[in-house]
Structure 1
Amino acid sequence: MTDAYTRYSQSKSLKYQKERDIVMKSKSRRSKYSDQKYHHVESKTPPLPAKSTSSLEELLKKRESLKQELKKIVKDPDTAPNIDYNKKRRHSKEDYAYEIMISKKRQVHNETRSNKISKTRKSNHESSPELEHIQPESEDEETIIQQRRQQRKQLLEKFNVLNEKSNESTEDDNKASNSEAENTTDIKNTQDNQIISKQVTDMFSEKDEFESNGATKNATHNEDETNLNLTDNWDDADGYFNIRIGDTINNRYTIKSILGQGVFANVVRAQDNMEGNDYVAIKIVRNNDLMYKTSLKEIEILKQIREADPDNKYHCVQFLGHFMHKNHLCLLLESLHMDLRGVIKKYGKHHGINMKALMSYSRQLLLALRLLKKLGIIHADIKPDNILVNEKKNLLKLCDFGSAGKSDDNEPTPYLVSRFYRAPEIILGVPYKHGVDVWSAACTIYEMATGKILFTGSSNNKMLKCFMDLKGRFSSKLVKRGKFKDQHFNYNNNFLLHKKDEFTGREKVVEMSNISISRDLLQELKKCNKSIYMNEERKITQLKDLLDKMTMLDSSQRAQVNDCLKHPFILEELDKC
């Protein structure tokens, strides 16, 4: 029994001893793990102050001295005490392995950083792994920034050297580029040089610094000349010639002033440097195929007028010749002082020009129309802007034959002639002849007499309404002949007025069956000539009769040019007071 009991007690004690050893080992492992995990983290909280007998005043003095030291350190960081990291305790092999593992994790999270930064980091970790837990990441970044700055300086120095070399000898650069293209085996070595050369070339420089591929200097010189010629753009966006005062045209005519600009061309006044320094008018046609063809047609008409009027007596502007300048067709014409619209604004605004000038100008205008009718030419754009006056204001001439054409070669078009001077047959689409010029001349004569425009419709439809306010309704016979009658009249020959609604602002059509005359031409003429003399009253009555005959709605009933020249307003002289 005793032997069995002793064996039992010994086995029990051995079992208890083993359990105790296991517990002790686990405790040692836990303590070692905690030491490995947290041994390098220094406590940031300061230790509790030891019990001292120092007074409160001494503590305050120490606090102020510490503040002053901190201020000095902030102002002069160089004076801060240097930390001797060699005094720090070394880590064990296990700690070193643990730190390497942490650094690898950081590298995985920082994939966006460049290879250079990762290499510098590895070198820093391998050279001084003990300092990783002491130095913050900001110091690593500062070192990386410094390294980048140094690399950037080196690159800039390389670029400056390359710039100097390229400025000194461009031929050597061309040879080097050709040799690089031939040596295909050294591609990797030449890639960096090609990138640098691309960065050096200036895309805004005047010289071509791109690879020439064996091109000669003469070829590049010719290309530069062509580029310079391309920069000489003499036209604007609409094809008009860019006029500059003082420039010389055709090596003969010096531009002195700009007279005006129309749909087809712009007109300048120039001095002829060869024949007595006389002034001429040059019509510079737009650089456009349609305008060019139209101007050739105008030249033919001007030549016919010059042949029919060699002595320049019938008040059409004289044609002197034509030439080409910078791809622009230029018409050379005689120069006059100003247009009739300028005369009306200056001498007859709101009341018209004097009666004597009115009679003279009307006669000269009708003489020009008689010459055109004799030649079978329709001007098709008579208005004060296309009538010129000399410097003495006693001579009038008709100009601008860009819209002119033969009387037997015309098609109905609703937008021929400027709108305020447009005859009814043009708006309705009735075949027209010389009567359209007579109508426009009547509107011009009225404007000279009153200083106001006779018909001021904002559209063709409104123009017809203005005609009927002065002359009454159109005859059914005339309306039926019109090609565009359906735009303005219905089947009952009632006028369809297009106007905007006062409330909605939308366009609406109003049928007008009864249209009464609401204007008195004689009263309008007298109103604009309040201070007329007794001998002028009779001339105003004659002018009213002439205008009535020249503005008949039916062109077949309208007065002809010869009839107008025989009218008493033109033939009878003004009685002296």
Structure 2
Amino acid sequence: MADQKLKSKSSRSIREESKPAKRHYKEDTKYRYESKTPPLPTSSVTMEELIKQRESLKKELKKINSKNYLDTKVKLQKHNKYDKSKDNTVLKYKRKHSSDQKKDDKNIVNTSPDHIDSEDEESIIEQRRKRRKQLLEKFITSSHEHKSESIKEENIIESASSSNETDNQIQKPQITTVTKETRDMFSEKDDFIFNNDSEFVTQDNENNTQLIDNWDDPEGYYNTRIGDIIDSRYTIKCILGQGVFASVVRAHDIKNGNKDVAIKIIRNNDLMYKTGLKELSFLKEINDGDIENKYHCVKFIRQFMHKGHLCLVLESLHMDMRGVIKKYGKHGLNMKALMSYSRQLMLALRLLKKLGIIHADVKPDNILVNEKKNILKLCDFGSASKAEDNDATPYLVSRFYRAPEIILGIPYKHGVDIWSAACTIFEMATGKILFTGSSNNKMLKCFMDFKGKFPAKLLRKGKFKDQHFNYNNNFLLHKKDELSGREKVVEISNVCATKDLHSVLKKSANNLTTKDEKKLGQLKEFLDRILVYDAYQRMSILECLKHPFIQEELEK
């Protein structure tokens, strides 16, 4: 029994030793000093000790407040203007602070020990929150004044005098509010005031790539605005037109007595830039080949770069031939003007052949006339090429003026320009387009309506012959089925000419005199000799210039 009692005592003592020792708050002085938070009331703490602690805390808070007010005074001396809203914030803060102190004094005297401890802890936490907010505000103010210097905590808290002296000296206190970038995450209210002052921003229009991009539309064309001055020399007056390669504007040359010029602004992409450089080389070559300006090609003046666009400055003319036909020749131009225009157009093609250049886009839109309507000039050399660089392509030249050798893929030369010139002259004579096919296949059908079947010998040379003719050289017409709407191919073996060029020309002309009828017959013969399938049998440019339609003057 004695042994059992000893064992029970020893086990009890072991359990007591294993229990954690009770921690007395009095012994943990280090923790109490670091936190500066009053402990929970115990029987050993008297009322007098609590009051003394409270008084010491109040003195410490007064010192902190006096330091903050002195810092505010120093900042105020650097500013000449004050924000009324911020003044109100400071006054509210002072009133609230004084009222809180009065309440705390009353609570210290009139409350019981238990209640004093809980309120002391809350008030101290509130004061620390306010102090933290003030330190943060001071830090933000100093960071605006010293942009590149880091602010240390010991430089924020400075020596200060008593709070009474500070209150007497400060008339208009100012507290910098917390900005959007540095909010107090412990704040209980979202009473932040943001600085909405306007900022002056200067931007470099020349080097700002985003602004430069705004000069172009999505397709790379220059966004032209009337009145803009480009290259510090040319004032844009109107927009003349826009093509595949560029847009064209009319401008006044400030350095040349406000003389009118035409500026071709090439689209802003690599392909169009290379095409523009190619056209530039042709224009310079044409200028050198026609120093006396006799061959009716538009004169080139100079070039420059603007907002990433290559700009070609050309002589300005009044309007293009398309506009002339619409305004003056709905039923065709008069015979005298037609002869003059035909001669000048052939002179332009003669110069190009002499230089070995194929224009490859002769049409009324690319022919300009002056204000008096007596001078014609060929323009737009964006599609031009050298005669030896003629690669087979089925879509060269605008479709209504496209020669058959281009559609069939037969090697071509200057004959394509002569064919296009004949189509243009017919349009000037009648006011109507000669061949109106909606595709290359339909264009071949239009040719055959006037000229009959293609020779088999010529078709064998065609690279794209199989797209339009079968092994028997029968024409394959592509058209849509009327019921299903699907495209179908119709083989046509017997192709015969169904239209006569002379009757079409005569139908368009009204009130012809006998002299005009004679010239009309010459015109029909002139066009017939040009509109020949085989380019080698087609009239040459020299033969065209010697033809009676051009050479013989109209009888009076």
- Decide: shared fold, TM above 0.5: yes
Query: How far apart in 1 are the matches of 2:503 and 2:205?
Result: 70
In the alignment, the residues of structure 2 paired with residue 226 and residue 353 of structure 1 have an alpha-carbon distance, to the nearest angstrom, of 49
- Are residues 538 and 237 of structure 1, via their aligned partners in 2, closer, same or farther at CA, if it must alter by over 3 Å? same
Of the three residues 374, 377, 385, the one matched with 2:357 is 377
User: Judging changes above 3 Å, is the alpha-carbon distance between structure 1 residues 199 and 265 closer, same or farther for their aligned structure 2 residues?
Assistant: farther
- d(CA) in 2 for partners of 1:489, 1:431: 18
The worse-fitting range, judged by mean Cα deviation, of 260-269 and 221-230 is 221-230
Q: CA deviation at 1:167?
A: 12
Maintained 8 Å contact 2:247/2:264:
yes
In structure 1, the partner of 2:500 is: 520
Q: TM-score, normalised by structure 1?
A: 0.64
Partner of 2:234: 253
Cα pair 1:315 1:368 within 8 Å, conserved:
yes
Secondary structure of 1:415's match? coil
Tell me how far apart the structure 2 counterparts of residues 293 and 189 of structure 1 sit (CA, whole Å). 57
Equivalent residue number for residue 264 of structure 1: 245
Name the residue aligned to 1:338. Answer: 319
- Cα gap change, 1:169 to 1:507, in 2 (>3 Å): farther
Q: Could you list the per-position Cα deviations for residues 490-530 of structure 1 after superposition, in whole angstroms to 9, with x for gaps in the alignment?
A: 00000000000000000000000011111011011111112
Change (3 A) 1:176 1:440: same
Contact 2:139/2:151 (<8 A) preserved = no
Find the aligned partners of 1:565 and 1:293 in 2 and give their Cα distance: 35
Residue in structure 2 matching 1:497, options 465, 477, 487: 477
Q: CA deviation at 1:173?
A: 10
Whether 1:440 aligns to 2:441 is no
Which of 167, 171, 190 is the matching residue for 2:144? 171
Between Structure 1 and Structure 2, how many residues are aligned?
Answer: 393
Q: CA deviation at 1:226?
A: 9.2
Code of the aligned partner of 1:489: F
Shift of 1:231: 2.8
Task: Tell me the residue number matched to 1:211.
Answer: none
Per the alignment, residue 325 of structure 1 pairs with: 306
Partner residue in 1 for 2:380: 400
Letter in structure 2 aligned against 1:519: K
Structure 1 or 2: larger helix share?
1
Q: Distance in 1 between matches of 2:521 and 2:205?
A: 70
Is the partner of 2:389 in helix, strand or coil?
coil
1:539 to 2:519 alignment: yes
After TM superposition, list the pairs within 5 Å mapping 1:210-289 onto structure 2: 230-232=210-212, 233-289=214-270
Any unmatched runs of 5+ in structure 1?
A: 1-160, 181-187, 209-220
What CA RMSD, in Å, does the superposition of the two structures yield over aligned residues? 3.2
- Provide the rounded CA distance (Å) in 2 between the counterparts of 1:239 and 1:571: 46
Mark the CA change 1:225 to 1:384 in structure 2 (over 3 Å): closer, same or farther: closer
Match for 1:171: what amino acid?
A: H
Mark the CA change 1:168 to 1:363 in structure 2 (over 3 Å): closer, same or farther: farther
Mapped contact 1:472–1:516 kept (Cα < 8 A): yes
Partner SS state of residue 490, structure 1: coil
Which residue of structure 1 lines up, in the alignment, with residue 488 of structure 2? 508
Residues 472-483 of structure 1: matches in 2 within 5 Å?
A: 472-483=452-463
How much does 1:238 deviate? 0.8
Q: Any residues of structure 2 matched to 1:15-34 within 5 Å, and which?
A: none
After TM superposition, give the deviation of residue 178 of structure 1 in Å.
Answer: 7.7
Partner Cα distance (1:570, 1:293) in 2: 38
2:205·2:211 contact (CA, 8 Å) conserved in 1? no
Contact 2:143 2:150 in 1 (8 A): no
Are 2:430 and 1:450 equivalent residues in the alignment? yes
2:332, 2:509 within 8 Å by CA — same for their partners in 1?
Answer: yes
User: Could you say if the C-alpha distance between residues 516 and 167 of structure 1 is closer, same or farther in structure 2, counting changes exceeding 3 Å?
Assistant: farther
Q: Residue 387 in 1 paired to residue 367 in 2? A: yes
Q: CA separation in 2, counterparts of 1:171 and 1:248?
A: 43
User: Is the CA contact 1:166–1:173 (under 8 Å) kept in the aligned structure 2?
Assistant: no
Deviation at 1:326, TM superposition (A): 1.1
1:389 to 1:247, Cα distance in 2 relative to 1, 3 A: same
Amino acid at match of 1:414: P
Moved more, 494-503 or 169-178: 169-178
Partner Cα separation in structure 2 for residue 460 and residue 342 of structure 1: 26
Q: Is the 8 A contact 2:304 2:311 kept in 1?
A: yes
Q: Which of 278, 286, 298 matches 1:305?
A: 286
1:458 Cα offset (Å): 0.2
CA drift of 1:294 comes to 0.7
Change (3 A) 1:492 1:390: same
- Structure 2, unaligned runs of 5 or more: 1-133, 154-181
In structure 2, the residue corresponding to 1:234 is in which secondary structure? coil
The 5 A counterparts of 1:41-440 are: 171=144, 191-192=185-186, 230-232=210-212, 233-349=214-330, 351-440=331-420
Is 1:574 aligned to 2:554, yes or no? yes
Structure 1 400/172 Cα, relative in aligned 2: closer, same or farther at 3 Å? same
- Paired-residue identity, %: 66
Aligned residue type for 2:406:
I
User: Aligned partners of 1:565, 1:189: CA distance in 2, in Å?
Assistant: 88
- Structure 1 position 191, deviation (Å): 3.7
Q: For 2:380, what is the secondary structure of its paired residue? A: coil
Give 1:336 shift: 0.2
